[in-house]
Structure 1
C-alpha cells in the first residue's frame, strides 16, 4: 500500500501546528537545502517562460511562488495549511496581481477539480509529495489541469538514499600515513512503502508525517495517467560546511513528467 487515507487529517493537523515555526525558519530566502539543491535544478527543469501560468502545489510560505512571479510567471499556489497560506500572502504582497493563493487539500480530487481544465502550462511541487498521504488524486488531476504537453516538476527526499531507518556513518582510518575520514550511509529497507514521523526543522513543536514510497511507485503512477518522464536531477552538496559530506550521495531527487496523449 502506498496511500494512507486514514492519515490525511492527522498529517494536515501536524502541518498546521508547525506552520508558524517553519515559516519563521525559512524566512524570505528559505534554507540552504532549498537555495542550493532545490531551486536551481527545479528552475532548470521547469524552464519558465514569461506569462506562463504555473501551479505551485503545497506552496508553504510562498517563497518559490514569489520566485516564479519574479521571473514573469502567473502563479496559482495552494497549500492545505491555512496558516501557511496566511503567511505566504504576507510574504508576497508585492506580487498580489501575479499570485493567486488558495487553501486546497492535494488529496481531494473534488477540491483539485476547482482549479479548472487545461489552464496550467506547468506545475511544481517542492519537497512535498513525500509529505502527502495519498498522491494518486493529485496525479490524476494534473492530467486534466495541465495543457497539452504541459510538465510537472517535483522534488522529494531521494527514496533510494533517504528511506526511513537511514543511518549516517562516519569512519576514520590511518591510510598510508594519512588520517582519512569516510562518510557513508546504511539502509536496511527500501521497497516497502511506509509512513513515519520526522523532524524536518529543529524546534518544531510536533513531528510531521512522511510517506516513503520506492521510486517505481512514483514512475508507475505517472505512467498510468499518461505522463512520460523526460527530465531528472540528483543534486548533492558540493561544498560542505558540516561534518557529514553528501557530495556523492544525493539527498534529493527532482523529476520532470510531461503530459502526453
Structure 2
C-alpha cells in the first residue's frame, strides 16, 4: 500500500497547526535547504519563460510562487492549509496580479478538476509529494491540466537515502597517522511504503505526517499516467557547515516528467 486517503484530514489538521511557525521560520527567502538545493535545480528543470502559466502545488507560504512571478510567469498556487494561503497572500502582495491563490486539497479529483484542462505550461511541487497521503488524484489530474508537452517538476526527500528510521553515523579513525572523520548513513528498510511522523523544523507544535514510497512507485505511477521522465537532479550540500557532511549523499531528489500525448 502506498496511498493513505484516510490520513488526509489528519495531515491537513497537523499542517494547519504548524503553518504559522513554518512561515515565520521560512521568512522571505526560505531556509538554506531550499535556497541551495531546491530552488536552483528546480528552476533549471522548469526553465521558466515569460508569460508562461505555471501551477504551484502545495505552495506553502508562497516564496516559490513569488520567485516564479519574478521570472515573468503567471502563477496559480494552491495549498490545503488555509493558514498557509493567508500567509502567502500577505508575503506576496506586490504580485497579487500575477499570483492566484486557492485552497485546494491535492487528493481530491473534484477540487483539482476546478483548475481546468490544458491550462498550464508546467507545474511544480517543492518538497510536497511525500507529505500528501494520496498522490494518485494529483498525478492523474496533472495530465489533463497540462498543455501538450507540458511538464511537472517536483522535489521530494530522497527515498533511497532518507527513508524512515535513517541513522546518521560519524566515525573517526587513525588512518596512516592521520585522524580522519567520515560520515555515512544506515538504513534498515526501503521497499516498504509507510506513513510516519516527522519534525521538519525545530519548534513546530506537532510532528507532521510524511509518506515514504520507494522510487519505483513514483516512476510506475507517472508512467501509468502517460508521463515520460526527461530530467533528474540529485543535489547535495557542497559547502557543509554542520557536523554531518552530505557531499556524496543527496538528501533530495528532483524529477521532471513530461506529458506524453
Does TM-score exceed 0.5, indicating one fold? yes
Distance 2:138 2:71 in 1: 26
Deviations 1:9-50 (A, max 9, x none): 000000000000000000000000000000000000000100
- Per the TM alignment, residue 86 of structure 1 is displaced from its structure 2 partner at its CA by 0.1
Counterpart position of 1:142: 142
Gaps of 5+ in 2: none
Q: Is structure 2 residue 21 aligned with structure 1 residue 15?
A: no
Distance 1:162 1:15 in 2: 21
**Runs of 4+, deviation exceeding 6 Å:** none
- Per the TM alignment, residue 146 of structure 1 is displaced from its structure 2 partner at its CA by 0.1
TM-score by length of 2: 1.00
Gaps of 5+ in 1: none
Counterpart position of 2:73: 73
Distance 2:130 2:188 in 1: 19
Counterpart position of 2:122: 122
Deviations 1:172-195 (A, max 9, x none): 011111110000000000000000
| SS at 2:122 equivalent | strand
Counterpart position of 1:183: 183
Distance 2:240 2:222 in 1: 34
Counterpart position of 1:204: 204
Give RMSD over aligned pairs.
0.3
TM-score by length of 1: 1.00
Q: How many residues are paired up?
A: 261
- Per the TM alignment, residue 69 of structure 1 is displaced from its structure 2 partner at its CA by 0.1
Distance 1:83 1:5 in 2: 22
Counterpart position of 2:41: 41
